[in-house]
Amino acid sequence: MAISTSTAPVNAPAGRRGTPAGGRLFWTFLVTSIAAFMVSLDNLVVTNALPSIRSDLNAGLSGLEWTVNAYTLTFAVLLLPAAALGDRYGRRRVFLAGLTLFTFASAAAALAPGIDALIVARAVQGAGAAVVLPLSLTLLSTSVPAARRGAALGVWGAASGLAVALGPLVGGAVTQGMSWQWIFWLNVPIGLVLLPIALRRLPESLGPRGRLDVAGVVLAAGGLFGVVLGVVRAGEFGWGSTEVVLSIAVGALLLAGFLLRERRTAAPMLPLPLFRRRSFSITNGVSLAMSFGMFGAIFLLAQFMQTVQGLSPLEAGLRTLPWTAMPVLIAPMAGRLVDRLGGRPLLVTGLALQAVSIAWIAVVTSPTVAFSSLVLPFVLAGVGMSLFFVPVATVVMNSVPADRQGVASGTNNAIREVGGVFGVAVLATIFSHAGGYASGQQFVAGLEPALWVAAAVVAVGALAALALPGRRSATVSALPARQSDVREAAHAPVPAPAPVSVLAAAAVAAGHA
C-alpha cells in the first residue's frame, strides 16, 4: 500500500528522557499494531453474533442493521478529520482520546440493556475507531526510520487485515463459548493496558495546522444518517411513507449542502477537484459497489447459517473463512500480477468473480443447502475480493499527484465504508420486503432477491472498471498536472486506511513483502 510521506512530524520531540530510541520504536510498534487489530476486529466481529443479539435483546431487522451500520457510519464520516485533529492537537494526545472512547464504548456495548443502547454504544465505538486507526498508522510511520518503514507498515497492515479476516470466526467462537457481550468485553482489558503504555511510551508529534471543516463533518454526518435511516425504515413502512420520504429528502438536502460547501471552502474535507480525474472517480465508484455487495451479502448470510440452518456461531464463523480469509493466500500472487499487468485487469476480474459468486449463492441457496454447495462460490468470492483489494490502493495513488495521495487514500476508504453502510441497509430492506424470520423458507425468499441485487451492483462495478485507463495512462496521471492541486494539498489532512480496507492492507503487505 502506498503511504503518503506527508505524515512526517512537525516539532516532534526526541522522546522521553532515558528511553532508548529502540525501546520507543518497540513500544510504538506494539501499541499501534494492537490498537489497529482491536478496532479492525470490531468491524466484522459482530456479524455472527447478530442472531444471539436479536434473540437476547428482542431486536428487529432494523436494529440489527444499525448494530452494524452505526459503527461503520461514524467511522466513515470521522475518518477524514481524525488525522487533522492529531496534526493540530498532538497525535499521541488525540490517539489516547480515541482509544479511551473506544474502550469505554465497548464496555457500554457489553452492558447495553436494549438494542437502542447497543446502537448508541456502537456509534461511539466507531467514532473512537475513526481516531485510533489513522493515527496509529501516523504514529508508527513517523517513528520508524525510512529504511525500516516499509516492513513496519507492512506488519501493521497485516495485523489489521488479519483482524478483519478473523472477525466472523472470533465473534462466533466468543458468542458460542461465552455470550455475545464478550465480543465487546474483550476490548476493555486490552484498551486499559494499552492506555498507560501509550501515555508513557509513545512520542508526541504535531503536523501541519490545517483548518478543520467542522461544518462539513456535520453536514456529511447528518446527510448520510438521514438517507440511511430512510432506507432502513423503508422495509418497515414502505418507500412511499411520509417518514421514509422525508428522511431521505432531508438527508439528500444535507448532502447537497455538504458538496456545495466542499466546493467553496478553503479547507475541504472531501477534495472534489480530484473527482475530475477519471481514474480516481471510477476507482471510488467501483470501491463503493464492491463494499455494497460484500458487506450486504455477509450481513444476511451470517444470519442465514444460524437462523435457518441451525449452525452454532462458531460453525457459522468457520464456514465464512473461505471467503474472508482468502486474501492471505491470494495476495502474494496478486501482488506480482499488479506489477506485470497493472491494476485494471485485476480490478475487473476481481469484481466479476465477486458478482458471479454472489449470484451463484443466490441460485443454490435453500433452507437445506449443503455447505459443500457453497464452498466453491465462497472461495471464488474470496479470490475476487483479493484481486480487487490488492491493486485498488495502487490505482488510487497513481490517479492523483504525489502530494494528494494521503487525502486520496482516505477519501477512497471512507467511500468504501459508505458503500458497506448502504449495502447492509438496502439489502436488508429488500430482504424484509420479500421475506422474514418466520420460517426458513421465508428467510430464503428474502435472501435470494437481496443477493441478486448485490450481484448486480458488483457486476456494474466490474463494467465500470473496464473504463479505467491502462498502465501508461495511469502512470502519467500521477504527475502533478495543476498548480491548484498543489495549493490544495497544503491544507489536506493525511488519513489512513479504513476498516473495510484493512483486508487490502494485509493483501498489499503480503503481496509486496
* Mean predicted confidence (pLDDT) in 232-250: 81
Last residue of a domain, one of 264, 279, 302: 264
Examine the domain organization and report whether 376 and 479 are in the same domain.
yes
CATH number at residue 476: 1.20.1250.20
Among 184-193, 365-374, 499-508, the minimum mean pLDDT is found in 499-508
pLDDT, one tens digit per residue, over 306-339 is: 888 888 888 888 888 787 777 667 766 766 676 6
- Select the highest-mean-pLDDT range: 102-116, 239-253, 374-388, 433-447: 102-116
Inside any domain, residue 356? yes
Q: Which residue has the higher pLDDT, 111 or 152?
A: 111
Report how far residue 104's alpha carbon sits from residue 106's, in angstroms, rounded to the nearest whole number.
5
Examine the domain organization and report whether 223 and 306 are in the same domain.
no
Q: Which residue has the higher pLDDT, 404 or 493?
A: 404
Inside any domain, residue 209? no
Q: Which residue has the higher pLDDT, 39 or 286?
A: 286
At how many degrees (to 10) do helices 372-398 and 502-511 cross? 80
Inside any domain, residue 204? no
Radius of gyration of the chain (CA): 22
Would you place residue 83 in the very low, low, confident or very high pLDDT band (cuts 50, 70, 90)? confident
Among 76-90, 245-259, 411-425, 495-509, the minimum mean pLDDT is found in 495-509
Cα–Cα distances in angstroms (integers) from residue 204 to residues 88, 91, 263, 264, 510, in the given order: 12, 6, 34, 33, 30
- What rounded mean pLDDT belongs to the chain? 77
Examine the domain organization and report whether 448 and 460 are in the same domain.
yes
Would you place residue 454 in the very low, low, confident or very high pLDDT band (cuts 50, 70, 90)? very high
Examine the domain organization and report whether 244 and 128 are in the same domain.
no
Report how far residue 231's alpha carbon sits from residue 427's, in angstroms, rounded to the nearest whole number.
10
* Mean predicted confidence (pLDDT) in 424-451: 86
What is the per-residue pLDDT for 117? 93
Domain of residue 244 covers 214-264
What is the per-residue pLDDT for 299? 82
Last residue of a domain, one of 228, 243, 264: 264
Inside any domain, residue 138? yes
Examine the domain organization and report whether 345 and 246 are in the same domain.
no
Examine the domain organization and report whether 99 and 225 are in the same domain.
no
Would you place residue 55 in the very low, low, confident or very high pLDDT band (cuts 50, 70, 90)? confident
Inside any domain, residue 6? no
What is the per-residue pLDDT for 1? 32
Examine the domain organization and report whether 274 and 218 are in the same domain.
no
Report how far residue 108's alpha carbon sits from residue 3's, in angstroms, rounded to the nearest whole number.
34
What is the per-residue pLDDT for 483? 37
Report how far residue 355's alpha carbon sits from residue 300's, in angstroms, rounded to the nearest whole number.
16
Examine the domain organization and report whether 259 and 284 are in the same domain.
no
Q: What is the pTM assigned to this prediction?
A: 0.74
Q: Which residue has the higher pLDDT, 199 or 394?
A: 199
- Rounded percentage of the chain residues whose pLDDT exceeds 90: 16
Residue with cell 461465552: 178
Cell of 513: 513483502
Total of domains in the chain: 2
* Mean predicted confidence (pLDDT) in 396-402: 74
Inside any domain, residue 151? yes
Examine the domain organization and report whether 323 and 192 are in the same domain.
yes
What is the per-residue pLDDT for 253? 93
Cβ density class 399-421: b for 16+ within 10 Å, e for less: bbbbbbbbbbbbbbbbbbbbbbb
Inside any domain, residue 1? no
Examine the domain organization and report whether 451 and 479 are in the same domain.
yes
Report how far residue 42's alpha carbon sits from residue 228's, in angstroms, rounded to the nearest whole number.
21
Find out whether 252 and 223 touch, Cβ atoms under 8 Å.
yes
Count Cβ atoms within 10 A of the Cβ of residue 12 and give its class: 0-12 exposed, 13-18 middle, 19 or more buried. middle
Examine the domain organization and report whether 343 and 457 are in the same domain.
yes
Inside any domain, residue 148? yes
Cell of 176: 458460542
Examine the domain organization and report whether 404 and 415 are in the same domain.
yes
What is the per-residue pLDDT for 165? 67
SS3 147: helix
Report how far residue 247's alpha carbon sits from residue 252's, in angstroms, rounded to the nearest whole number.
9
Using the predicted structure, report yes or no on whether residue 11 has a pLDDT greater than 50: no
How many Å separate Cα 269 from the centre of its chain? Answer: 18
What is the per-residue pLDDT for 235? 67
Using the predicted structure, report yes or no on whether residue 275 has a pLDDT greater than 80: yes
What is the per-residue pLDDT for 5? 32
